[in-house]
Chain A
Amino acid sequence: MGSRSSHAAVIPNVDSIRRETGFSQASLVRLHHRFRALDRNKKGYLSRMDLQQIGALAVNPLGDRIIESFFPNGSQRVDFPGFVRVLAHFRPVEDEDTDQDPKKPEPLNSRRNKLHYAFQLYDLDRDGKISRHEMLQVLRLMVGVQVTEEQLENIADRTVQEADEDGDGAVSFLEFTKSLEKMDVEQKMSIRILK
């Protein structure tokens, strides 16, 4: 235990991070270890390059967008709290989380926040809506090259139409949530080892 607490002590503001993200001490220590491993030049923060070094992301269709999600608001670096904040979305949802004190902010790994994370991956211009154009871009990423442009546009149109309720030709976050209400998001967007 002694060694573990000394590890935890290395992490600055570990308590506030723990409160904010809900991670256990052990998880935070491991994540910090990972953070340091990714930070090749020991800068103390991660840049895009560091994340791009992860080979598996290059063959993930949404890899770059996810990397981007670590750098909100145009920043070029992500420090450890920022790193952990993104990962916190993927904590599995436990039952104690659900009956929360209504005054406290929603935990990062709530269903709503998980969906919001995904939503932000689509909504690049941050206008709170996924336009048809944005949907098309995502589709392009996720589909093989044999699909023609017209087919893609077709699919994008239908996808937006299916979810769009107020007819504005774009999918707002509410509509997005509603279209996925039957999906078990909590399970689909959780990594068990991140507790």
Chain B
Amino acid sequence: GPGLGRCWPAWPGGLLRTGGVEVEPGGAHGGSQGFQVVTFEWAHVQDPYVIALWILVASLAKIGFHLSHRVTSVVPESALLIVLGLVLGGIVWAADHIASFTLTPSVFFFYLLPPIVLDAGYFMPNRLFFGNLGTILLYAVVGTVWNAATTGLSLYGVFLSGLMGDLQIGLLDFLLFGSLIAAVDPVAVLAVFEEVHVNEVLFIIVFGESLLNDAVTVVLYNVFESFVSLGGDNVTGADWVLSPVSFFVVSLGGTLHVRIIEPMLSLSAILAITFCGICCQKYVKANISEQSATTVRYTMKMLASGAETIIFMFLGISAVNPFIWTWNTAFVLLTLVFISVYRAIGVVLQTWLLNRYRMVQLEPIDQVVLSYGGLRGAVAFALVVLLDGEKVKEKNLFVSTTIVVVFFTVIFQGLTIKPLVQWLKVKRSEHREPRLNEKLHGRAFDHILSAIEDISGQIGHNYLRDKWSHFDRKFLSRVLMRRSAQKSRDRILNVFHELNLKDAISYVAEGERRGSLAFIRSPSTDNMVNVDFAPRSSTVEASVSYLLRENVSAVCLDMQSLEQRRRSIRDTEDMVTHHTLQQYLYKPRQEYKHLYSRHELTPTEDEKQDREIFHRTMRKRLESFKSAKLGLNQNKKAAKMYKRERAQKRRNSSIPNGKLPTEIPVQNFTIKEKDLELSDTEEPPNYDEMSGGIEFLAGVTKDTASDSPAGIDNPVFSPDEALDRSLLARVPPWLSPGETVVPSQRARTQIPLSPGTFRRLTPFRLSSKSVDSFLQADGPEERPPAATPESTHM
């Protein structure tokens, strides 16, 4: 509106007057009393203005914080934001003597909390979450009830002893307070744990707990609040019984009219949104294009991040409100003490119980993090502000205490949790420096265990998961996913879970052609990526060689200093070795699934690792397949024949297949069992020799002078491309003449194949008699290949 430009110099306090229609004199530039060219239309623009201002301040604050990386790595952002809020509140108060803009529960629950929770649900690592669901539920339900009960009762006990002075509180009030202060807050937890890198199991437990305990909190809160509003004497036994019932109702999304209940809280909003996010992530991703998916991700992150910022700032501002400030030393201090102590006790007890049933044990350091990481935050604050001042006489006391608690946990605990964790980790590994062997073999054991788990099928867990995915595939996906997405999903699943050798062959062929597998063909070639991973290594080598040179020259060398030098070099080498191992050992499956992070999206480390291992494994399987089929002689010959340049040359030539006769005895290719039995023990893969993996496939004939990779240029092998039935005749496809076009354009535009993006490759028929799943998997929907590559598509 016209007044907008003029409003800026006005005091923030004036802007923030919620009900205000009047204009602060502080910035009025009113014109003459006559014709007013420019007028203040404050009420007109108030809401959007305020919102815009908030967003502006929040963004500036964020940028400002991240300017100094050191600061943010020590102080959690949430703490900084609260402090900023305090400062702003101070300004407002100084200007106006009233801080009239506070965090209202409706704003909080309707606008600010949902984006955060939705974001969390959307990015929740499902497998991890559901895998630890039992633990999470235990902590969320039992833990919260325990915390609430013990805190409330203890406070009551202290009150009875008179330490708190004269307050108008009853037992129920204390219980009510206990219930709202007991809940661990997801926003605060997320904000702080982002900085602290704990292992994923720990993270998911704390985070999951913070999300799920909302249901418990809401029920307890409602129950006690309704009891309080009834008046303590009127509570009957029946009401106590109804409470647990209402828990289930609330968590399943219902409304329970026990007594008067704030409608917006009876449905556990957080739970609902969380599960919405969790469930819909799969379908959203499947149904929309890649770009839209990225957009969705970024948007969510942005909204969540913004909401979080605003929440913490509000918390700060709301604190500066002298009207509500009531201080009772005993109450505040004891609350702090009790929540910490009882949480720790609760965690220890529950962990002891859980460890008897869990596969992965929770160690003491985990328990420390669990107890210490139970942060309270805005949820508690919102709930306390919601209290009815009439029924709860000491509402102000509660509010003040809650603020203090929230500030304490977020700022103090948030600040100290990281150093604490680091100190503990150091302490734990201090008394034993793991030796090289232990590191290496330990990691090997992890891999072995993963593999055996996969082989043995994770009985029990898998049953449920299978049932769910079956249900999902049959019903949910039909409804919720686009047709084409379903199809490709099926194909991907089929392929990934049933890696056939022929797919592997084609895949590796494709990869080889594109050069992406070059690096593993032979580590000793100069294709090998030679990353200078630490400057130290080069200095180490330099000094070793220098040392050797010194030795050789043997001119006035002090033997002792030499020995010292050698020893120190050895230590450096030791360090380097350990460091290399630490950094480059592949992580076992349990470890590398990345964490949820508010501010970052999908690191691709695990994808890269998957891809590397996948390449290698497929290559090796190919080689062993090859040696099984043709015996070693053919092997060596093929290896010698294979040269990358030749392949390149041939790739560009247009008639690769001319030489290949078609009367190849097809029986050679059958993957029938009895053929496989011909070979003896698989020889250990020999990297230096077996570089010609693909060569074999074309070199099926006695005449190994053929040119394999070009043959595989056949568009028949393009992903997503189907094979014409006619070509499925007895002759292996790559041998069929005529199909000579090189699909290089498509290949170039295509992203490298990885297990995740693996598309169904055409089933080149190795044998007409092959009795395997190649045939069944390809339904009638597959189209004949295009004659030209241009018509192929991704």
Interface residues in chain A, defined as those with a beta carbon under 8 Å from any beta carbon in chain B:
27, 30-31, 33-34, 37-38, 40-41, 43, 47-49, 51-64, 66, 68, 73-74, 76, 87, 90, 117-118, 121, 124-125, 137-149, 151-152, 154-155, 158-159, 162-163, 179-180, 182-183, 185, 187-189, 191-194
Could you list 28 A-B pairs, sorted by A, with CB under 8 Å?
A: A34-B457, A47-B676, A52-B501, A53-B500, A57-B617, A58-B614, A61-B447, A61-B613, A63-B617, A66-B448, A66-B452, A90-B449, A118-B444, A121-B448, A125-B684, A137-B684, A144-B586, A145-B519, A148-B531, A158-B436, A158-B577, A163-B437, A182-B438, A187-B361, A188-B445, A191-B359, A193-B458, A193-B459
B residues 586-644 near A (Cβ < 8 Å) are 586, 589, 609-610, 612-614, 616-618, 620-621
Provide the bound-state CA to CA distance between A47 and B687, in Å. Answer: 25
Cβ-defined contact, B537 with A151, below 8 A: yes
Cβ-defined contact, B616 with A141, below 8 A: yes
Cβ-defined contact, A180 with B441, below 8 A: yes
Provide the bound-state CA to CA distance between A117 and B501, in Å. Answer: 27
Interface residues in chain B, defined as those with a beta carbon under 8 Å from any beta carbon in chain A:
359, 361, 432, 435-438, 440-461, 496-501, 519-520, 523-524, 528-531, 533, 537, 573-574, 577, 580-581, 584-586, 589, 609-610, 612-614, 616-618, 620-621, 671, 673, 676-677, 679-682, 684-685, 687, 755, 771-773
Provide the bound-state CA to CA distance between A152 and B316, in Å. Answer: 54
Cβ-defined contact, B617 with A66, below 8 A: no
Cβ-defined contact, B621 with A52, below 8 A: yes
Cβ-defined contact, B499 with A68, below 8 A: no
Provide the bound-state CA to CA distance between A117 and B436, in Å. Answer: 20
Cβ-defined contact, B457 with A37, below 8 A: yes
- Within 8 Å CB of B460, what residues of A? 193
Provide the bound-state CA to CA distance between A192 and B531, in Å. Answer: 40
Q: Within the complex, what minimum Cβ distance (angstroms) separates B638 from chain A? A: 21
Cβ-defined contact, A148 with B528, below 8 A: yes
A118-B444, A158-B577, A182-B432 known; 18 new pairs, CB 8 Å cut-off, are A54-B454, A54-B497, A57-B617, A58-B614, A58-B755, A61-B616, A66-B452, A76-B679, A87-B456, A90-B449, A117-B448, A125-B684, A143-B584, A145-B520, A155-B440, A159-B440, A189-B448, A189-B449
Cβ-defined contact, A34 with B580, below 8 A: no
Cβ-defined contact, A143 with B497, below 8 A: no
- Within 8 Å CB of B524, what residues of A? 149
Shortest 6 CB-CB contacts between residues of A and residues of B:
A74-B681, A34-B457, A56-B454, A146-B531, A179-B437, A55-B497
Q: A-B pairs with CB below 8 Å: how many?
A: 201
- Closest A residue to B438 by beta carbon equals A183
- Within 8 Å CB of B531, what residues of A? 146-148
Cβ-defined contact, B499 with A53, below 8 A: yes
Cβ-defined contact, A55 with B496, below 8 A: yes
- Closest A residue to B456 by beta carbon equals A87
- Within 8 Å CB of B450, what residues of A? 56, 60
Provide the bound-state CA to CA distance between A74 and B671, in Å. Answer: 18
Provide the bound-state CA to CA distance between A154 and B537, in Å. Answer: 12
Cβ-defined contact, A59 with B610, below 8 A: yes
Cβ-defined contact, A68 with B529, below 8 A: no
Indicate the member of B500, B580, B612, B618 with the most A CB atoms within 10 Å.
B580
- Within 8 Å CB of B677, what residues of A? 76
- Within 8 Å CB of B442, what residues of A? 183, 188
- Closest A residue to B758 by beta carbon equals A55
Q: Within the complex, what minimum Cβ distance (angstroms) separates A41 from chain B? A: 7
Q: Within the complex, what minimum Cβ distance (angstroms) separates B583 from chain A? A: 8
- Closest B residue to A89 by beta carbon equals B452
Q: Within the complex, what minimum Cβ distance (angstroms) separates A120 from chain B? A: 11
Cβ-defined contact, B454 with A155, below 8 A: no
- Within 8 Å CB of B671, what residues of A? 49
Cβ-defined contact, A62 with B451, below 8 A: yes
Contact A145-B449, Cβ < 8 Å, known A51-B455, A56-B589? no
- Within 8 Å CB of A57, what residues of B? 451, 454-455, 617
Contact A118-B432, Cβ < 8 Å, known A34-B457, A64-B617, A146-B529? no
- Within 8 Å CB of A74, what residues of B? 680-681
Provide the bound-state CA to CA distance between A53 and B454, in Å. Answer: 11
Cβ-defined contact, A146 with B533, below 8 A: yes
Cβ-defined contact, B453 with A191, below 8 A: yes
- Within 8 Å CB of B446, what residues of A? 188
- Within 8 Å CB of B519, what residues of A? 145
Cβ-defined contact, B755 with A62, below 8 A: no
- Closest A residue to B684 by beta carbon equals A124
Provide the bound-state CA to CA distance between A17 and B533, in Å. Answer: 51
Contact A60-B680, Cβ < 8 Å, known A158-B577, A188-B445? no
Provide the bound-state CA to CA distance between A59 and B450, in Å. Answer: 11
Q: Within the complex, what minimum Cβ distance (angstroms) separates A91 from chain B? A: 11
Provide the bound-state CA to CA distance between A138 and B444, in Å. Answer: 9
Cβ-defined contact, B445 with A52, below 8 A: no
Indicate the member of A34, A52, A68, A124 with the most B CB atoms within 10 Å.
A52
Cβ-defined contact, B499 with A41, below 8 A: no
- Within 8 Å CB of A185, what residues of B? 445
Cβ-defined contact, B456 with A40, below 8 A: no
Provide the bound-state CA to CA distance between A146 and B589, in Å. Answer: 20
Cβ-defined contact, A87 with B586, below 8 A: no
| Contact of A180 (CB < 8 Å), options: B437, B461, B537 | B437
Q: Within the complex, what minimum Cβ distance (angstroms) separates A39 from chain B? A: 12
- Within 8 Å CB of A121, what residues of B? 444, 448
Provide the bound-state CA to CA distance between A139 and B440, in Å. Answer: 8
- Within 8 Å CB of A51, what residues of B? 455
Cβ-defined contact, A191 with B449, below 8 A: yes
Provide the bound-state CA to CA distance between A140 and B584, in Å. Answer: 11
Provide the bound-state CA to CA distance between A176 and B412, in Å. Answer: 47
- Within 8 Å CB of A66, what residues of B? 448, 451-452, 455
